[in-house]
Amino acid sequence: MPLPLYAPPVLRSSRSPNPFDRAQATRLRILIDAPLVAGPVDGAGDYHGYPFLPGGSTGYPDAATVLRSYFTHPRLEILRISEDLAEVGDVVLGEPEPLDPDSLSFEVKTDRGERYTGIDYYGEAVEEGAAFASQHGITLDEGLQAALLYRVGAVLEADLIVTDREWLLAERGRPHGDFLAPLVSSAEALALIGLYLRWHRQPVIVGGAVAEWHPTAMRSSGAYTAMPAFERWNQAGRAWHDRSGGDLRIENLNKTLLTRVSRAFQFRDSVFALAATMAGFEPEELLCELDSLLFSLVGAFDVAARITDLLLGMNGGRSVGWQYTKSNGWQKRLEPIAEDLYDATAAGTEMQRAFQVLRWLRNSVHNEALDLTREKQRFYVTVESGTQDDLRGFLREGHTGWDAADLGIRVQPPGGATAAKWLPGTGRYSVTVRRTGAPRPADPLEGTLIFEGRQLINKLFPACLSALDQIMLRTPLTGVPGYHPGLDQPSRANLPWNLSDTTGHRLRFLYGITELT
């Protein structure tokens, strides 16, 4: 699951600060769908336990159970569709007004008392609910509940509207569905809550305020969780040290690899959080964070190649790297000694596609700084012309899962006039206006390639983590001094609390790293 894109409420008052604005920090407002309000809570009952104990907190709760443990966090404002006004945040829907049947009032319990408000166009909601019922095979009542849910959320200016009605979540992509943009699943809500709390330097893991966590330790554990096979190399490095007279090369490289991936998580968070507001200095900050993300990920691949070279005794010297796939290249030399690893990293594999796109983008910075362009009130990142040619050729090859939409790439057709404005700092953004009536080129990729930074990261970042994990999983360890079969499948029973499986289960939700099963 990629990290969701935060969509500010359509009806947000201009006087309401953005929750991701650090200068005017405000609480994240979340409306919870009625079926999600009640149920087990992480950190209690079957999921009791304290995260700092060895093994972490008990059990493997689902996303909704973890979400409920955050209901009491002071940085979150939780609103719930309820039957009565029992607690602060309860929202009780009324009945249509007799004198105005197109209006529906509802009450909200706040810390200052009870607030009365309502929605207009109730008849439109009834019609939409009936359409939902017909289209998705649900009851009329459930269809109306869903139609009212996001309308109430819009009136209340909810940052997130959480529902696990999968059919309703599927409606988000429909045209003119601006009011559906804040709809998220429980797992998506947790990923955005995690981003929000990390951005405001209050990362937690279980039960909201129960256990605060140092951001660096949390990022490191997140990186560890994203790459389960890292423990193979971790144990191999220790065995190498113990059996080779204190040789720390593998251990030190392992630490470097984990740190680079850990920092990549931080840079990814910064890009997503800055993109949520894009005011003041933030566009230039976003470019710098994206720069750092690209360099960190390429560095992680470079370190992984050096560790592989050592573990396999290849002595590749200065020519170690996954990009050397020619007949006499370093990667080709893996074939006779690590065939499984060779097959997973050869030219044309998913690993090489992720690595190639990553390197093109990283190398483009050597020639010209990343830039921003604006189209339809949104910022897009641009790269220098040579990198655009490389990406254009890559897209024309038509790799499944790597088309323009997957990478968040758009094409600005030629024939427009461009005006540039300098941003504070060292960057600038440009606005391109296409001439009215200008003929569209026959080649859909002709023009300037621009990409939405977050969409690109949502494709590239998980692909890189998966590729690194596969490299670590497929590297033979038989050449490690003192090798024993336990190195290939090391026990996870006695890992420290912040690297435990149950803690890792929760981290996957909060970082939005992988699909959970």
Write out pLDDT tens, residues 70-105. 999 999 999 999 888 989 999 998 888 776 778 888
pLDDT at position 418, please?
A: 54
506-515: average pLDDT = 86
Does pLDDT of 446 surpass 50?
yes
Q: Give CA–CA dist 351/270, Å, rounded.
A: 25
The mean pLDDT of 331-357, rounded to a whole number, is: 96
Q: State the residue for tokens 């005017």.
A: 24
Q: Is pLDDT at 130 greater than 90 in this prediction? A: yes
Q: What is the pLDDT of residue 421?
A: 58
Work out the average pLDDT over 368-378.
75
Q: Of the ranges 21-35, 204-218, 354-368, which one carries the lowest mean pLDDT score?
A: 204-218
Instruction: Provide Rg for the chain, Cα atoms.
Output: 25
Helix (H) or strand (E) holding 458: helix 453-474
The model's confidence at residue 426, banded by pLDDT at 50, 70 and 90, is very low
Q: Is the Cβ–Cβ distance between 21 and 165 less than 8 Å?
A: no
What three-state secondary structure class fits 397? Answer: coil
What would the mean pLDDT of 459-470 be, rounded to a whole number?
Answer: 96
Report the share of the chain in percent with pLDDT over 70: 91
Q: What is the per-residue pLDDT for 295?
A: 95
Average pLDDT over the chain, rounded to whole? Answer: 87
Nearest CA-CA partner of 193 in 235, 165, 159: 159
441 has a pLDDT exceeding 80: no
pLDDT per position as a tens digit, 189-238: 999 999 999 999 988 888 776 677 888 999 999 999 999 999 999 999 99
Alpha helices in 69-158 (DSSP H): 122-136, 140-155
Residue whose pair of structure tokens reads 């992988």 in the numeric block: 514
What span, in angstroms and rounded, lies between the C-alpha atoms of 368 and 220? Answer: 32
Position 423 pLDDT exceeds 70 = no
Q: What per-residue confidence (pLDDT) applies to 432? A: 54
Q: Is the pLDDT of residue 425 over 70?
A: no
Range of 166-180, 276-290, 397-411, 480-494 with top mean pLDDT: 397-411
Residues 474, 341: contact at Cβ < 8 Å?
A: yes
- Compute the distance between CA of residue 248 and CA of residue 169 in angstroms, rounded to an integer: 50
Confidence of residue 420 (pLDDT cuts 50, 70, 90): low
pLDDT at 317: 87
- What is the predicted pLDDT for the residue at 517? 41
The band of 437, judged by pLDDT with boundaries at 50, 70 and 90, is: low
pLDDT of residue 7: 83
Q: Tell me: pLDDT of 456 over 60.
A: yes
Task: Note the pLDDT tens digit of each residue in 227-271.
Answer: 999 999 999 999 999 998 899 999 999 999 999 999 999 999 999
Rounded Cα distance between 378 and 372, Å, is: 10
Is pLDDT of 285 > 50? yes
Find the range with the poorest average confidence among 167-176, 299-308, 468-477.
Answer: 167-176
Our CA dihedral for 436, 437, 438, 439, rounded to 10 degrees, sits at: 150
pLDDT (mean) for 272-291: 86
